[in-house]
Chains A and B, each alone.
Chain A
Amino acid sequence: MREHELSCRLPTFTRRQLFALAAGMGVGQTARALPTAPVAVARCADYEPKRLVETLGRMFDQIGGLERLVAGKTVAVKVNLTGGAHQRLGHTPAELAHWTHPNVIGAVVYWLGRAGARRIRILESIAYSPEPLEEFMIAAGWEPRDIANAAPRVEFENTSYLGMGKEYKLLRVPGQPHIFPGFLLNHSYADCDVFVTLAKLKEHYTAGITLSLKNSFGITPTTIYGEAAGIDEPALIPRGGRSMLHRGHRQPAKPAPPEIDPSSPRDDGYRVPRIVADLAAARPIHLAVIDGITTMTAGEGPWIRPRDGRRTEVVSPRVLIVGTNPVCTDAVGAAVMGFDPAADRGTPPFERCDSTLRLAAAHGIGTYKLDEIEVIGETIDAVRFPFRRVSS
């Protein structure tokens, strides 16, 4: 295990939690405590750059500062730009509905630079195209130079294929995988010291919610895990979504490791959360930032036709959530959305799927139990924005 992975997995307890653990654990009890880390929660009225920089700067301080994490390091930043650049929810720009907002990306990049990051690489896998990531952003109406200029040595890469790398890199799932024992990924996810995820606070048609853990679903190259993936070797060019991961109708292109049990359920509500948990174990997340200032309800993108008579709509919870443990951060995110992060299959938001939080916890990544997570800044109650009540 690499050093940075090790440091990510070490549980960090507040004094209060240590007392609670000591009090609750009898002599001889062997229950394994899951890692936990503080999660900062803040209100943020809008995407005004100065306000974002100030708010995120305060939040990073609250979780212990970024210097210890990124100084002198190469930092990979996975953003959430799901779907196509030409898709909008109604007339709403993607960043105000289903994409991480560029000003959030810019503010995070700014603080990473200030904290001494040696190199910052903005990453996303554009499922249907080898399009350079900056071009994809411009197609959406963004100005990527604003992000590039937020810190020294900022780069962009579309990771849905080999990209700028010479070969794909195998990242293995430590311990017992749920579905895949490892993933063959674009070099960017291995050639970094620190992995940051910039997610959106959203529900998800298949996985119930999509926060920082689910954002890792998009690190898989579609040349290997996509509809037009190769068989004996990866395709040269990405063309198509990740139905293979959803439905399991075929195995990824060789030499990516196949599933450990091809007879396991082909139900996407079973598969997707497990694959997400496997990905989060294979490619540990060191910093999770969830953009919940303005977002959408009832699904992860404008293409979603919600079930149960709900409708997709733009909403403004006006909240940012930051943490170093993605399970803890997502647990707080789920609670802010009005869900019980400890919910199991059959309970909102996991009516038709397993809980990614529980599956990631099973990998030992972190705890989803709110009473084991220190929340700093705003309380969950103060910023709670029940998604189901809004769009039901």
Chain B
Amino acid sequence: MTSYDWWPMRWPRGWPPEMLQILAGAPINCLISSEPGLSLANYRVLGELPGQLPQDVQLIEGIWPSVKISRTRDSAEAGPTGAPWIDANGWRIQLARARYPNQQLWIDYQPPGELPDLNSLLVAIAEACAFGARWIVTLPEQLAQGLLNHRGEALTLWEQAKKLMRFFQEHSQWCSWPVVAPLGVVSDFSGENEFLATEFLNLASRRNLAYRVILREQLTRERLAGLAALILIDGQAVEAKWSAPSWEFAEKGGLVIAPKLPKGSVPARTYAGHRIARFGRGRVAAPIEPWSDPYILAEQVHWLVGRRNDPVRLWNGELLATHCCRSGDGKTTVVHLIGYSGWRPFQDVTVGVSTRGVEARVWWVDGEAQIQGTRRQLGTEFALPPFRVYCAVECGGSHA
């Protein structure tokens, strides 16, 4: 269980202690400042990081979450899908959660020099919280100055930021709920495996292919419970002793996707760029051509696992990422929707959740509502109200 006692903020350079009042109503309780002698009552003050981190905190590096924008503000740079390219941190946080399961995670990155849209501050807060971390709130220079000078626009945005932080503080139990995912991604995520493994996580997230990160030294039968499939990314996985629980997983009916087929397995068919062989009650799949492009790998693995197993489906949510968690008792599911386009409201978004319940509570930055979903064959669909930056959908009911 991770504790979320700390909520860090980097104290803007040149802010006098009187600016402390601006934090009233925010759950921020830890300030990071390189200015000597800054003493702020009721706040723990840390010097520059990573030197003085609290004991139960792990610091990870991130990047400013954003849509890659082309010169004309209304359009975005396309990735290989034709879909816009998004810089996101969800996968980094999920990987860090696997590496440091008992630590509170702080993700740190500074705003870029010139921020075209200050609303992306809200995206940074929401993204980290939704995935179970805290972003070290670091105000863009324009916003810090605006607050210092009591400018209306800056104050409005800051109030929204505080409201968002309070929301996550009130729902901090969500952070410890296990992710709902059909796929386990197994690697040591380092050395020669790092590029393919981490880019796979990044690009799988972009396709809303939900996964559970499993460090290979932690690969045990217990960690595979509830999964439909497993990918062993590392080159020598098939021969390695650590992969033994995977084969048991396949024997019992799971799908194991590996760099090559285990000895003795005979491929019965090809699908999504892989040869597939029966293995006990399950299947094993290996690539026809060695894996090299993580984008194609994420795509093919999604098809091998099957979209039928997706816990969340999304419509009209091109610039959204999703993260789905379920309470330990399995009675409540929450879907976080993180919008990477801070400046543009999300209209007409529908989210499909693989649960039977048709009622949901929806929160967004400006409001909340109880909504009624529509039962469909693959789960329940909820038509969401227009929102900016972030929306949470909490619904009950068992897995569909």
Contact = CB atoms under 8 A, between A and B. Distances in A.
A130 B302 CA distance: 12
A87 interface: yes
| Interface majority SS (helix, strand, loop, mixed), chain A | loop
B82 A87 contact: no
A141 B381 contact: yes
Contacts of B394: none
A143 B315 contact: no
17 contacts: A86-B314, A86-B316, A86-B317, A87-B316, A88-B348, A91-B315, A91-B383, A132-B272, A135-B302, A135-B306, A138-B306, A138-B378, A141-B381, A146-B377, A239-B80, A239-B82, A240-B82
A129 interface: yes
Given A91-B350, A141-B381, A135 B315 contact: no
A85 to B, nearest CB: 8
7 A-B pairs with least C-beta separation: A91-B383, A138-B307, A143-B377, A88-B315, A90-B348, A91-B350, A128-B82
B308 A138 contact: yes
Given A86-B318, A88-B316, A239-B82, A141 B352 contact: yes
A90 B313 CA distance: 16
Contacts of B195: none
Given A87-B315, A90-B348, A142-B377, 6 more contacts: A129-B81, A132-B271, A135-B306, A141-B376, A142-B378, A143-B377
Interface of B: 80-82, 271-272, 296, 299, 302-303, 306-308, 310, 313-318, 348, 350, 352, 376-378, 381, 383
Contacts of A344: none
A139 interface: yes
Most chain B CB inside 10 Å of its own CB: which residue of A128, A132, A135, A237: A135
Given A86-B314, A88-B348, A139-B313, A128 B81 contact: yes
Nearest to B377: A143
Nearest to A227: B82
Nearest to B348: A90
A142 B81 CA distance: 22
Contacts of A241: 82
A5 interface: no
A237 B299 CA distance: 12
A141 B378 contact: yes
A141 B313 contact: yes
Nearest to B315: A88
Contact of B81 (A93, A132, A239): A239
Nearest to A146: B377
B307 A135 contact: yes
Most chain A CB inside 10 Å of its own CB: which residue of B82, B313, B317: B82
A239 B81 CA distance: 7
A50 to B, nearest CB: 17
Contacts of A132: 271-272, 303
A131 interface: yes
B378 A143 contact: yes
Contacts of A239: 80-82
A90 B381 CA distance: 13
A240 B78 CA distance: 11
B348 A91 contact: yes
Interface string A129-159: 1111001001101110010000000000000
A135 B304 CA distance: 10
Contacts of B271: 132
A41 B381 CA distance: 33
Contacts of B378: 138, 141-143
Nearest to A237: B296
Given A86-B315, A88-B348, A91-B348, A139 B307 contact: yes
B294 to A, nearest CB: 15
Most chain B CB inside 10 Å of its own CB: which residue of A138, A142, A239: A138
